[in-house]
Amino acid sequence: MKLGQATIKDIAKELNVSSSTVSRALKDYPGISDETKRKVKELAEKLNYRPNAIALSLRKSRSYTIGVIIPEVVHFFFSTVISGIEEVAYSRGYNVILSQTNEKIGREKSSIETMLSNQIDGFMVSYSKETENFDHFTRLLDQGFPIIFFDRSTDIPNAINIMVDDYKGAFDAVSHLIEQGYQKIVHLAGPKNLKISKERERGYRDALKNYGMEIQEEYIVECPVGSDEESKEITTNLLTTLPEKPDAFFANNDMAAVGAMAAAKSLGFKIPEQIGIVGFSNWQFCSMVDPSLSSVSQPGFRMGARATDMLLDIIEKKLDPQKITEPITLDTQLLIRNSSLRIKS
Amino acid sequence: MKLGQATIKDIAKELNVSSSTVSRALKDYPGISDETKRKVKELAEKLNYRPNAIALSLRKSRSYTIGVIIPEVVHFFFSTVISGIEEVAYSRGYNVILSQTNEKIGREKSSIETMLSNQIDGFMVSYSKETENFDHFTRLLDQGFPIIFFDRSTDIPNAINIMVDDYKGAFDAVSHLIEQGYQKIVHLAGPKNLKISKERERGYRDALKNYGMEIQEEYIVECPVGSDEESKEITTNLLTTLPEKPDAFFANNDMAAVGAMAAAKSLGFKIPEQIGIVGFSNWQFCSMVDPSLSSVSQPGFRMGARATDMLLDIIEKKLDPQKITEPITLDTQLLIRNSSLRIKS
DNA sequence: TTGTACGCGTTATCAA
DNA sequence: TTGATAACGCGTACAA
């Protein structure tokens, strides 16, 4: 803050009282004469007094600030989560301090250090793709420091995880494709080390099993990057080389789904008549591509809001983290659009 | 921070030295014996000592934190700007504290107050649509408090504005359409009260003039919401009722452009042969729609990065804000894709 | 080479 | 009803 910001001392000096009196008057403590209160408040108003939150933090060892560690800000799902976080934090009087890791563990660790230095009251974390060792988190959790992991969950004992029900989302999507009569369904899978990828793959497998269909391992293809270009290349390859041509794609994310769509179209396939496609995440563009892309929508805002409410409850001791033993899962919703709807009922 | 976080005092007590010695040893001050330094650093490491940034802030009246006030986080352009801000802030050792206003002035003001309480070193602001009175900003600027306005600029004297060159972006886009031989170019305009909308419309008008073409007022249609549905409806209307059928659309944003594309396609027009379309912003989906959408790309990341560099330079007194009298404009780039390219050269 | 004392802004505690 | 003092964690001018 610039010079010239009035402090309690300034008010005290000007009114010839002690700073404790001013402090008490401002907070309507009992045992201060109405007269003094009035004078203090009047002058505070006049001087545009604003309490110094930093001094307060130092004194209380509480900053009313939570730290958000996120892989990328420019990402539809994550920005939606941030929005939910910010909304709840604001309404409960907390600040949000934000850092993106760009999927780098080094940056993740250093951001955590900085935030701890800044005495934040708790963390909301979606860890980076590079993170395989979780010691920097367990250490904090063991100290009793509040952390909530969102979207990307961990196996750390006692950690609180909140995520989307990826398994069920995938299960629903693939079941839908089967019900639409698709037989050879490829899964464009995500990075193997992320739990969400594994869960989605599990949903894919179980849906097939559930309908008595065989699982062919060559139909499960990893798309490590997750971009549309990558997927277009992979999909073109599959459609031209596999002995039994696939007739549907269930993608781990919407970008990959769009890549598959582009590949199929440029090879002359009709969508959804010959090839069906379903993505995951329900990004904004799903309704804008042609044909519109069916997708599994994830409740990002709700996830951010819910997680923040829990974190603040823990910080404020309204909730005992020990009591939360199960991961919290939020329901997804399958949005059926034209890319997978060939049986009009 | 939880109990148990080691302080300088803890180290001092354990080593039987004074806390100032510890402080100096940790910072490699001259005049401390190597022996002491070694011991102090060793113990600091062992105790996992972490400087208390809050105490430092209080002492230096500097928090190494900047506040970002933004209308919405879930918005491709804004999230890109945030990313640029965060990137530079991180690399220069600053924290970013974030608040979204949801376009409400009340929230804008209260967020500013909170951030000031937290002794932030400067502001990055894109004000809300409701903001018409700027007193809450001028007061701060008059005090010498560093603020940079991005994307949405102000007329406040001495304020620093950074924005995209909307005029030129629009001018280039429309010139391109004309060069492609389109004759009856409609402008799907944005909300009239935003400066960016006005600038884009001005670019549209000047491009037509520049090519000696007549400006027909009924070809300039406001799309107040800016959604694809809205634009689809408006465009369908135009294509079916106007006596002289339009053969191109220059939209104020990409969503509106996609709406126009959908309308044209469903009316059986070929794109780009019969109808050309150019959007604004270059959202991610531009390359994914079919045909791919030409668009004017706005350098969001660069804007965030550049603005933050300036803000930090001002904070660190490397730059005198008085010296910046002109608004800073960043060049846009016209990305020509299939929706407007009918003359292959 | 090291220690003492003070102040950043605030509030809790004890005393008057 | 009010005031003086100490403390939160750190850095530094001054003294030793």
In angstroms, the CA of A26 and the C1' of D13 are apart by 35
- The integer distance in angstroms from the CA atom of B20 to the C1' atom of C5 is 11
Q: Distance in angstroms, CA of A25 to C1' of C7? A: 24
Cβ pair B297, B282 in contact under 8 A = yes
Count CB neighbours of B188 within 10 A. 28
A210 close contact with B: CB closer than 8 A: no
Question: Tell me, which fold does domain A166-298 have in CATH?
Answer: Rossmann fold (3.40.50)
Residue A140: phi and psi, rounded to 5, are: -65, -45
Judged by DSSP in three states, B122 sits in strand
The nearest CA of chain B is from the CA of A160 a distance in Å of: 18
The answer to whether A8-51 and A166-298 have equal CATH topology is no
Q: Does A287 touch chain B (CB under 8 A)?
A: yes
Report pLDDT for B312.
98
Which backbone phi and psi does A30 adopt, to 5 degrees? Answer: -70, 155
Contacts of B98 in chain A (CB under 8 A): 82, 86, 96-98
**Order of strands, sheet of B333-335, starting from the edge strand that comes earlier in the sequence:** B220-222, B185-189, B248-251, B276-281, B294-297, B333-335
Q: Which chain B positions have a beta carbon within 8 Å of A79's beta carbon?
A: 73-75, 79
CATH 3.40.109.40 fits A8-51, yes or no: no
Least Cα separation, residue B154 to chain A (angstroms):
23
Q: Is the CB of B20 under 7 A from strand D?
A: yes
pLDDT, tens digit (0-9, with 9 covering 90-100), for A190-203: 988 788 999 999 99
Provide, as residue numbers in chain A, all residues whose Cβ is less than 8 Å from the Cβ of B251.
Answer: none
Cα(B102)–Cα(A83) distance, integer angstroms: 10
Q: How far away is chain A from the Cα of B215, in angstroms, using its nearest Cα?
A: 31
Q: Identify the residue whose Cα has the smallest distance to the C1' of C9.
A: A55
Q: What is the dihedral of CA B217, B220, B221, B224, to 10 degrees?
A: -120
Nearest-CA residue to the C1' of D3?
A18
For residue A52, give the chain B residue with the closest CA. B117
For residue A4, name the pLDDT band (cuts at 50, 70, 90): low
Domain B63-163+300-329 belongs to what topology?
Rossmann fold (3.40.50)
Q: Which of residues 66-95 of A touch B (CB under 8 A)?
A: 72-76, 79-80, 82-83, 86-87, 90, 95
Question: What residue ranges of chain B have pLDDT lower than 70?
Answer: 1-4, 345
Q: How far is A125 from chain B (nearest CA, A)?
A: 16
pLDDT at position A3: 44
Q: Is any Cβ of chain A less than 8 angstroms from the Cβ of B345?
A: no
What is the spatial distance, in angstroms and rounded to an integer, between the CA atom of A114 and the C1' atom of C12? 30
- B22 touches B12 (CB < 8 A): yes
Proximity of residue B73 CB to strand D below 7 A: no
Residues 6+ apart with CB under 8 A from A186: A219, A220, A221, A235, A238, A246, A248, A249, A250
What does the pLDDT read at residue A304? 98
What are the tens digits of pLDDT across the range A10-60? Answer: 999 999 999 999 999 999 988 889 999 999 999 999 999 999 999 999 999
Q: What is the pTM of this model?
A: 0.91
Question: Would you say the C-beta of A16 is within 7 Å of strand D?
Answer: yes
Give the span between the Cα atoms of B223 and B207, in whole angstroms: 21
- In this structure, what are the phi and psi dihedrals at residue A330, rounded to the nearest 5 degrees? -110, 145
Q: What is the mean pLDDT of residues A85-106?
A: 97
A264 has pLDDT over 90: yes
Q: Give the pLDDT score at A345.
A: 67
Q: Give the B window 261-280 contacts with A, CB below 8 Å.
A: 262, 265
Find residue B194's DSSP bridge partners. none
**CA-based torsion, A123, A127, A131, A132: positive or negative:** positive
pLDDT in tens, A124-134: 999 998 999 99
- pLDDT per residue as tens digits for the range A270-281: 999 999 999 999
Cα distance between residue B221 and residue B232, in whole Å:
13
Q: Which two tokens stand for residue A126?
A: 């979606």
Would an 8 Å CB–CB cutoff place B97 in contact with chain A?
Answer: yes
- What ranges do the domains of chain A cover? 8-51, 63-163+300-329, 166-298
Inter-chain touch A54–B50, beta carbons under 8 Å: no
Calpha distance B87→B79 (Å, rounded): 12
Q: Which nucleotide is nearest to A119 (CA to C1')?
A: D9
Reduced to 3 states, what is the DSSP secondary structure of residue A82?
Answer: helix
Average pLDDT of chain A, as a whole number: 94
